[in-house]
Amino acid sequence: MRFSSAMRTLLVLLVVVVVASFLPLGVSGYVLGLLTIACYFGVFAMAWDLLFGFAGEVNFGPTFLIGTGAYTAGILDNLYQPPIWICVAAGTIAAVVGGVVLALPALRVRGPYFGLTTLVAVLMLQNYVVVDASLTGGEIGLTVPDVITISDAKNYEIALWFMAISAAILFSLSRSPVGLILQASGQDAVQAGALGFNVTKHKLFAFIISAFFSGLAGALMVFYLGSASVGTFVDITVGVQIIIAAVLGGRRTILGGVLGAVFIIAMAEALRPIGDLANFVVFAMALVVVLLFPSGFFGLLTRAKEGG
C-alpha cells in the first residue's frame, strides 16, 4: 500500500516536471534563470531534509557540503581546465569525503552540539577560503573559465531534470525501508537501536547521500553562474535560506523542499519593486510560517490525512 502511494507521488512529480519542461516556450529568459536557481536550491533543500527530517540531525552547515563541492569543481577548472563533467564529478566526490569527515565527529554528539559542529565546519571552510585566496579567490570569489551553456533554456532544462531525478531518488529513498529506519532513528535512536538497527551506520549513509546531492548541485551551479564565491555557496545566510526552504515546504516530505525553494525565490522576485526591504519581508514571511504553520506547505496539504 505504501509503495503504491509513493509510486503515485512520483508519477505526479513526473507529470509536473514534463509540463514544466515546456515553460521555455512561453516564459522569459530571466524567469527561466530564476527557476534554474530554484531547482538547484530545491536540491539543496531536499538533501537537507533527508538529513534533518529523517535522520533528525539539525544541520546548520548544508553550505559546508555545497561549498566544498562547488569550490573543488571551480578550482579544478581554473587550474587545469579539464572537461566540465570531470570537475563536477570531482566536486561531488570532494563533498562526499567532506560529508564523511564531518559525520565522524558530528555523529558522536547529540542535539545542539551536532548543530554546532556543522556550524563550525562552515566557519572553518569560510576561513579557509578567505585565507587561501590565491587558490580559492578568497573574498574576491572565483571566476571559472567555462560555463555549461549560455542558453537560458538549456540551463533551465538541465537544472529541471537534475532536480527531478534527484527528487525521485531522494523521495524513493525516504519511502524505502532504509528511509523508514532513518526516520525511526531520527525520532528515537534508542528504540531503533534496541530493535537491532545500526543507527550510526544509517545516519552515516544519510550524510553521504545528502553530501552527494549537495555537492553535485553545488558544482553544477558553479558552471551555470560561471563563478563561485563565499556569499553564494558558503555563507551562513545561504544555509539559513536552505533550511527555511525545507521547513517551509514541510519537514520529512523531501519534495516540500522544492516548493519551499520556488516560493522563496518567487517571493524575492515579486517583492523586487520594494527594493532593499525585499529580503527583510521574505524572511519575515518565513518567520510567520514557522511560527504559525510549522508543518509547512506540504503539511498544510496533507493535514487532512494526518489530522493536524
Partner 1 sequence: MGTASVSVVFWQILVDGFAVSSLYALGAMGFALIFGVSGVLNLSHGALMVAAVVAAWAAGDQLHVGPYTGAAIGIAVGFIATLLTYFIIVSPLLRTRKIREEEKEIFILTATLLWGIMIQELIAYLYTNNAKTVAPIVEGVMSIFGVRTPKNELFTAVVCWLVIGGLWLLVNRTRAGKSVLAASMNPRGVTLLGIELSQIYIATWAIYGLLVGIAGVLLGMFLGVSSYSVGPLTASAFSIVVLGGLGSVSGALIAAYVVGYLETITAYLISPAYRTIPALLLLIVVMYVRPRGLLGRR
Partner 2 sequence: MAKLEKRALFAALGASAVALALATPGYAQDSNTFKIGVIAEVQAVAGSSIPQAAQLAADEINAAGGVNGKKIELVTYDNHSSAAESIRAFQRAVNEDHVNAVIASYISEVVLALEPWSGRLKTVMITPGAASDVITQNIAKDYDNLKYTFHGYLTSTSLADSTCAAAKDLLVGQLHMKSAVVMSEDAAWTTPLDAEYLKCLPDAGLNVLDHIRFSPDTTDFTPIFNKIEGEKPDVMITGISHVGVQPTVQWKQQEVPIPMLGVASQATNSSFWNDTNGATEGVLYQAVSGPDVAVTPKTLPFVKAFKAKFGNFPSYAGYTSYDEVYYLADAFKRAGSTDSDKLVTALEATDYVGTIGRIQFKGKDTSNPHALKVGPDTITGLMLQWQDGKQTNLWPANVANGKLRFPKFIKIGSAN
Q: Which residues bind partner 1 (CB under 8 A)?
A: 52, 58, 60, 105, 108-109, 111-113, 115-117, 119-120, 123-124, 127, 131, 187, 236-237, 240, 243-244, 247, 251, 276-277, 279-280, 283-284, 286-287, 290-291, 294-295, 308
How many Å apart are CA 275 and CA 27, to the nearest integer? 23
Question: Interface residues for partner 2 in 78-137 (CB under 8 A)?
Answer: 130-131, 133
Look at residue 14 and give the partner it binds from partner 1, partner 2, none, a contact being a CB closer than 5 to 8 Å depending on partner kind.
none
- Give yes or no for residue 275 binding partner 2 (CB under 8 A): yes
Look at residue 287 and give the partner it binds from partner 1, partner 2, none, a contact being a CB closer than 5 to 8 Å depending on partner kind.
partner 1
C-alpha cell at 155: 540551463
Least distance from partner 1 to the Cβ atom of residue 288, Å: 10
- Give yes or no for residue 148 binding partner 2 (CB under 8 A): no
- Give yes or no for residue 172 binding partner 2 (CB under 8 A): no
Cα radius of gyration rounded to whole Å, the chain: 19
Which of the stretches 58-66, 109-117, 185-193, 271-279 binds partner 2 when contact is defined by CB under 8 A? 271-279
C-alpha cell at 69: 563541492
C-alpha cell at 264: 522563496
Least distance from partner 1 to the Cβ atom of residue 166, Å: 23
Q: What are phi and psi of 142, to 5 degrees?
A: -115, 130
Nearest Cα residue to 39 out of 156, 168, 151: 156
| Residue matched to cell numbers 551536532 | 114
Which of the stretches 98-106, 107-115, 184-192, 263-271 binds partner 2 when contact is defined by CB under 8 A? 263-271
Q: Of 9, 78, 183, 295, which lies in the binding site for partner 2, with binding defined by CB under 8 A?
A: 9
C-alpha cell at 100: 564523511
Nearest Cα residue to 71 out of 141, 139, 147, 120: 141
Q: Of 94, 159, 225, 286, which lies in the binding site for partner 2, with binding defined by CB under 8 A?
A: 225
Q: What DSSP line would sit under 70-127, residue for residue?
A: HHHHHHHHHHH---HHHHHHHHHHHHHHHHHHHHHHHTTS-HHHHHHHHHHHHHHHHH
Which of the stretches 145-153, 165-173, 195-203, 205-213 binds partner 2 when contact is defined by CB under 8 A? 145-153
- Whether the CB-CB separation of 244 and 233 falls below 8 Å is answered with no
Look at residue 52 and give the partner it binds from partner 2, partner 1, none, a contact being a CB closer than 5 to 8 Å depending on partner kind.
partner 1
Distances (CA, A) of 125 to 72, 90, 129, 187, 236: 12, 18, 6, 30, 11
- Give yes or no for residue 279 binding partner 2 (CB under 8 A): yes
- 29 or 111, CB closer to partner 1? 111
- 107 or 160, CB closer to partner 1? 107
- 56 or 239, CB closer to partner 2? 239
The residues of the shown chain that bind partner 2, judged by CB under 8 A, are 5, 8-9, 12, 16, 20, 23, 27-31, 33-35, 37, 130-131, 133, 138-141, 143, 145, 147, 150, 152, 225-227, 229, 231-232, 259, 262-263, 265-267, 269-270, 272, 275-276, 279, 297, 301-302, 304-305
